[in-house]
A and B are shown apart, each in its own frame.
Chain A
Amino acid sequence: MIISKKLLFPALLLLSGASSQNAFAISAYNSDASVTYSISASNINTSGSLDDLDIFDDGPYFYDDFTSSSSQTSESVEYFSDLNTSYSHSFQAEDTISDGSAYSESWWEYSIGFENFSANSDDTYKITIDYSYDLTARAIGENADTDAIFEYESYNGRARGYDYINASITGTIENSPASTSGSKSISFFLEAGEFEEIYFDIGLTGYLEATPEASPVPVPAAFWLFGSALLAFPRFRKS
């Protein structure tokens, strides 16, 4: 069933795209976000170690708010296990309608925590998180607006960031697909007994309206490429 849902979207788009040449329009979005990070750490106490550094990840927790039964999401998460290793989290949301209106808002939240359990006050850990993110938003058809949002914040508020990308197709606006990316290195010191946590939010939203008997909607070439690409897109979903 899961795999059939995934295959449904490109198949439907291809079908709808073809059909829209004749009688009706569809509206759809398909947006995704991925975050890759690695963590490095050192003890400024050259005689100390990293034995008392605890790193743990939590989540992702998923929240959604949608009205359309065709709205669907997927995610792929690599959980942290070692320093200086790259891990990726990927998220995707999509929806397609051919009549009426629908909205869907999907959110994932996960965090990486750090705690210095050392009893030696000389043990201060320097932690660095290098991360990068890619956001892509795709709006297709008659009336669609979609955002892909990335946000992070440290527990104590020392580090905070926000970015988004929007794709929209309505009226004569055709701003799709759209993508953005970014990277950052967050460094902080963790003294003995201290705690820090970095929270990451991913949001994928889509708002759609479609008119059953609207004039045929031209299908851009990028749409067809997108649809065909999806057929070969590797599937991932949280078990």
Chain B
Amino acid sequence: MKFTKKLLVIGSLALSQVTFAHGPIPVPLIDAPIPPVPGLTDGADPIVVNKDMAIALGKALFWDTSVGSDGMACGSCHFHAGVDSRTKNQINPGILGNLESNESFSILGSGAGGPNHNLSLSDFPLTEYDNPLDKESGLGLTRTTDDAIASSGTFSGEFTGASSFTGTNDECVRSADAIFNVHGTGTRRVEPRNAPTMINAVFNHRNFWDGRANNVFNGSSPWGDRDPDAGVWVKTGRRSIEKQRLHLINSSLASQVAATSLSQLEMVCSNRSNSDLGRKVLLRQPLQYQNVHYQDSVFGPLNLTYSSANEQKPGLNKTYKTMIREAFAPKYWSYTRRGSLFGAPASGGRAYNQMEANFTMFFALAVQLYETTLVSDQAPIDTTTRDPETYFPTGLSEAAARGIHVFTDAHCNICHAGPALTTAAVTSNSALVTETPNAFFGPDHSRRAFGPAAMGRTTIDDARDAFIFSHPNVVNRDKTRAGFDTSDRLLDFGYFNTGVADPESDLGLAAKDDFNNPLSFTDQYIEYLQGNTENVHDASVNKIYSCLFNSQLAINMGFNITAPNVFGILADIEPDGNRESPDEIAIRNAQCFNQNGAYIPTMEAAKAAILDGTADKRLLTATRAAFKTPTLRNIELTGPYMHNGSMATLEQVLEFYGRSGNFHEDELHGLINIPLLSDPAKRADLIAFLKTLTDDRVRYKRAPFDHPEIVVPNGHQGDDLTVFAGSPLDASLAKEDFLTIPATGSNGVESPLLPFESFLIP
């Protein structure tokens, strides 16, 4: 019996990963399903009553430099194809890690580094091998670091107050930071991870590199249903108001805003709540000090600008308070009394009113609705002609066409699957492969029906090879590159350890939330299997279908099977769904193409396996240093790459994959083994294909990717050895340089955005 199982595992591995190009082909994003948010703008009692105004509110808040405590807007780190192209003062020493060096900066390839360093091409990649295509040859590893190339953020400080009408900066008690300084003169703090693009981020089931922006928005924090105190204040009568829980699914963009807006690395001083932010901005003119293009694609049609063809002017013509009143249902802002139930500023002052108390919700949902419009679906890969049967692109250049084959031969497509080119787009991908009457996507000349063949059809429906099914499974059991008996591991679907950095420099998905719960669905699923349902906080964990796993967790062959990596003793397994109801067993079975695998371990067996610790290999996980699979769309323009921004060029990225990653841990995903990328011609073809993912509307900042003017801190005067004290914010802080990015309108700009490497010192 043991032999049989071994063969099964080997066969599965070979089929899925080694022998031939297979799996989803890159498909258009045009009319791909955006995950629905029931109750937000639809239904009998929607939260948002004027969607257009909510989008305008979100766009204003996203780009308004008054939102941060010292001039930082959301857009300050997302102004270049949705990412940050700044190159000065962009280094974090690795503060999320457990390494001794997590508060000290490394000397990079150029011979310098640290705060206010101006990045050079020679600084990249941060982890370098003598032979970039072979970790073992020559001198092997020649340099590495736990530093990350990210985004210069806030000086921070302790919030004491802010004007409700004027001035960009808050009043904060500021001083030089213990980590971010040059010889004691404070520099802006830098985020610990590279800022990913918000373009197409609406397709992600969760956001942030570690997925901590929960799929469910609870109205007041990033933690979804995990936060027991979350909720929004809802007016139920003239003199009655109550805090109600909010449960908006597919709203991780809003959850993300709830976190970022309180980040003391990115935007704000400590002790400033989002209600304080509300008090600061509600009465203000949005974008008060920033020019707005008269043809702005959002503000223009709503007649919100003062600008004309002859003169650009700053600001919108309605206050934030007015925009909220027009956009959101009155029950969220019209309670006419303020009071202690809403809380009061930590820095003192009158109690909040309802609109201030609910400001997190207004801010987060408005930005989510704005970001939902940022879908780049007009790239060559979207508009090309396609084979009507296979749906393979037929109108690309020869190099790009070859590059698609490299993409699938190298199995890039297994993780970068679906229209958004990421399996982190769990809900959208599943919806696309679900047969739906009258639902089609793609360009007019090549419409494709939703259904199992949406992502291509060769010998089988290709989406299956990437474990994309109609049911949105948030956990998979997949192959890693650990030893033979330890390679089958549970992992969060769309989140993988790719060996970019020392795992201890950043645990990624294996970290905990504010309540000490695991971020990962996987660790919650382990709790589910053991029957510890009180430790399952994300509802989707209760809907994981085991029969859809790549590597079966439990198997019923009709007789006992003893194997190191699967539950096969009949007494140790039960049908998946058995704990819920007989109907649930039937529902789950209906999704299976392998009924033998529609089983899970009993609670007792799962507990025993956990108690057995490392001796039992059946409930191993791969969440350590796992990060969200990023979209590849516009990848040409969105460097530096990876969660730590450690690679500056696409060539460096492909070399990284060609050498099968930088660090080989047990959690390293099984597909990070791509020797064919050692061939420079194949790499060139693959890059040619990757460039077909760029939407020219992004490249030229055309609608919907136009934006107001924004002035972005761009490092400090001097360099990494010398800065000049005397910032207007505080004498202990370094004087700054700024980058002014002009306002654009719906027709965009004449000069295209350039790749990240073009901004580096040669």
| Chain A residues near B (Cβ < 8 Å) | 65, 67, 101, 103, 105, 107, 143, 145, 149, 151-153, 157, 160, 162, 164, 166, 168, 170-173, 175, 199, 201, 203, 207, 209, 211
A199 close to B165 (CB less than 8 A): no
Least distance between A175 CB and chain B CB atoms (Å): 8
Residues of A within 8 A of B274 (CB): none
Task: Say if the beta carbon of B745 comes within 8 Å of chain A.
Answer: no
A153 close to B285 (CB less than 8 A): no
**Interchain CA distance A186-B364 in the complex, whole Å:** 38
**Interchain CA distance A143-B166 in the complex, whole Å:** 8
A168 close to B322 (CB less than 8 A): yes
Instruction: Indicate the member of B319, B322, B334 with the most A CB atoms within 10 Å.
Output: B319
Q: Which 3 A-B pairs have the closest CB atoms?
A: A171-B285, A143-B165, A153-B238
Residues of B within 8 A of A164 (CB): 325, 334
**Interchain CA distance A110-B661 in the complex, whole Å:** 73
Contact of A209 among B164, B330, B336 (CB under 8 A): B164
Q: Which of B109-117, B310-318, B391-399, B482-490 contacts A (4 or more CB under 8 A)?
A: B310-318
Contact of A171 among B239, B288, B337, B350 (CB under 8 A): B288
| Chain B residues near A (Cβ < 8 Å) | 163-166, 237-239, 283-285, 288, 306, 313-315, 317-319, 321-322, 325, 330, 334, 336-338, 350
A203 close to B315 (CB less than 8 A): no
Residue of A nearest to B319 (CB): A168
Residues of A within 8 A of B321 (CB): 145, 166, 168
Residues of B within 8 A of A211 (CB): 166
**Given the known A-B contacts A101-B163, A201-B336, are A172 and B314 also in contact in the complex, defined by CB atoms under 8 Å?**
yes
Residues of A within 8 A of B163 (CB): 101, 209
Residues of A within 8 A of B325 (CB): 164, 166
Residues of A within 8 A of B313 (CB): 172
Residues of A within 8 A of B284 (CB): 170-171
Residues of A within 8 A of B338 (CB): 65, 105
Residue of A nearest to B322 (CB): A166
Residues of B within 8 A of A67 (CB): 350
B314 close to A207 (CB less than 8 A): no
Residues of A within 8 A of B288 (CB): 170-171
Residues of A within 8 A of B238 (CB): 151-153, 160, 199, 201
Residues of B within 8 A of A103 (CB): 350
**Interchain CA distance A89-B730 in the complex, whole Å:** 53
**Interchain CA distance A190-B379 in the complex, whole Å:** 67
A65 close to B350 (CB less than 8 A): yes
**Interchain CA distance A207-B283 in the complex, whole Å:** 8
Least distance between A49 CB and chain B CB atoms (Å): 33
Residues of A within 8 A of B317 (CB): 172-173, 175
Residues of A within 8 A of B164 (CB): 101, 143, 207, 209
**Interchain CA distance A147-B239 in the complex, whole Å:** 19
Residue of B nearest to A149 (CB): B336
B336 close to A107 (CB less than 8 A): yes
**Interchain CA distance A103-B163 in the complex, whole Å:** 12
**Interchain CA distance A171-B167 in the complex, whole Å:** 10
20 A/B residue pairs, CB under 8 Å, sorted by A: A65-B338, A101-B163, A101-B164, A143-B164, A145-B165, A145-B283, A151-B336, A153-B239, A162-B334, A164-B334, A166-B319, A168-B283, A171-B165, A172-B306, A172-B317, A199-B238, A201-B336, A209-B164, A209-B165, A211-B166
Residues of A within 8 A of B334 (CB): 151, 162, 164
Residue of B nearest to A168 (CB): B319
**Given the known A-B contacts A168-B283, A209-B163, are A145 and B319 also in contact in the complex, defined by CB atoms under 8 Å?**
yes
Residues of A within 8 A of B318 (CB): 173, 175
Least distance between A206 CB and chain B CB atoms (Å): 11
Contact of B166 among A157, A172, A175, A209 (CB under 8 A): A209
B237 close to A172 (CB less than 8 A): no
Least distance between A218 CB and chain B CB atoms (Å): 16
B237 close to A170 (CB less than 8 A): no
Residues of A within 8 A of B322 (CB): 166, 168
**Interchain CA distance A151-B331 in the complex, whole Å:** 13
Residue of B nearest to A173 (CB): B285
Least distance between B344 CB and chain A CB atoms (Å): 13
Residues of A within 8 A of B314 (CB): 171-172
Per DSSP, chain A at the interface is strand
Least distance between B60 CB and chain A CB atoms (Å): 13
Residue of B nearest to A145 (CB): B283
A172 close to B336 (CB less than 8 A): no
Residue of B nearest to A166 (CB): B322
Least distance between B382 CB and chain A CB atoms (Å): 40
**Interchain CA distance A162-B337 in the complex, whole Å:** 14
Contact of A170 among B306, B319, B330, B337 (CB under 8 A): B319
Residues of A within 8 A of B319 (CB): 145, 166, 168, 170, 173
Least distance between A85 CB and chain B CB atoms (Å): 26
Least distance between A68 CB and chain B CB atoms (Å): 13
Instruction: Indicate the member of A67, A143, A149, A164 with the most B CB atoms within 10 Å.
Output: A143
Contact of A162 among B285, B315, B330 (CB under 8 A): B330
Least distance between B290 CB and chain A CB atoms (Å): 11
B166 close to A153 (CB less than 8 A): no
B237 close to A160 (CB less than 8 A): yes
B315 close to A173 (CB less than 8 A): yes
| Beyond A143-B283, A166-B325, 12 extra complex contacts between A and B, CB < 8 Å | A107-B337, A145-B319, A149-B336, A153-B237, A153-B238, A162-B334, A164-B325, A168-B283, A170-B166, A170-B288, A171-B165, A199-B238
**Interchain CA distance A209-B285 in the complex, whole Å:** 14
Least distance between B453 CB and chain A CB atoms (Å): 52
Residues of A within 8 A of B166 (CB): 143, 170-171, 209, 211
Least distance between B567 CB and chain A CB atoms (Å): 57
Least distance between B27 CB and chain A CB atoms (Å): 46
**Interchain CA distance A103-B279 in the complex, whole Å:** 12
Least distance between A164 CB and chain B CB atoms (Å): 8
Residue of A nearest to B316 (CB): A173
**Interchain CA distance A145-B318 in the complex, whole Å:** 12
Residue of A nearest to B282 (CB): A145
**Interchain CA distance A172-B165 in the complex, whole Å:** 12
Least distance between B283 CB and chain A CB atoms (Å): 4
Instruction: Indicate the member of A153, A170, A199 with the most B CB atoms within 10 Å.
Output: A170
Residue of B nearest to A157 (CB): B237
Residue of B nearest to A143 (CB): B165
**Interchain CA distance A101-B330 in the complex, whole Å:** 27
Least distance between B490 CB and chain A CB atoms (Å): 51
**Interchain CA distance A203-B330 in the complex, whole Å:** 16
Residues of A within 8 A of B336 (CB): 107, 149, 151, 201, 203
B283 close to A172 (CB less than 8 A): no
**Interchain CA distance A168-B283 in the complex, whole Å:** 8
Residues of B within 8 A of A143 (CB): 164-166, 283
Residues of A within 8 A of B330 (CB): 162
Least distance between A26 CB and chain B CB atoms (Å): 14
**Interchain CA distance A103-B353 in the complex, whole Å:** 13
Residues of B within 8 A of A153 (CB): 237-239
**Interchain CA distance A103-B288 in the complex, whole Å:** 22
Contact of B315 among A65, A107, A171, A175 (CB under 8 A): A171
**Given the known A-B contacts A153-B237, A209-B163, are A172 and B285 also in contact in the complex, defined by CB atoms under 8 Å?**
yes
**Interchain CA distance A65-B165 in the complex, whole Å:** 20
Instruction: Indicate the member of A105, A157, A160, A168 with the most B CB atoms within 10 Å.
Output: A168
**Interchain CA distance A4-B285 in the complex, whole Å:** 35
Instruction: Indicate the member of A160, A171, A175 with the most B CB atoms within 10 Å.
Output: A171
Least distance between A34 CB and chain B CB atoms (Å): 18
Residues of B within 8 A of A203 (CB): 336
**Interchain CA distance A65-B338 in the complex, whole Å:** 10
Residues of B within 8 A of A162 (CB): 330, 334
Contact of A172 among B239, B315, B337, B350 (CB under 8 A): B315
Residues of A within 8 A of B239 (CB): 153
Least distance between B72 CB and chain A CB atoms (Å): 20
**Interchain CA distance A211-B165 in the complex, whole Å:** 11
Least distance between B342 CB and chain A CB atoms (Å): 13
B350 close to A170 (CB less than 8 A): no
Least distance between A153 CB and chain B CB atoms (Å): 4
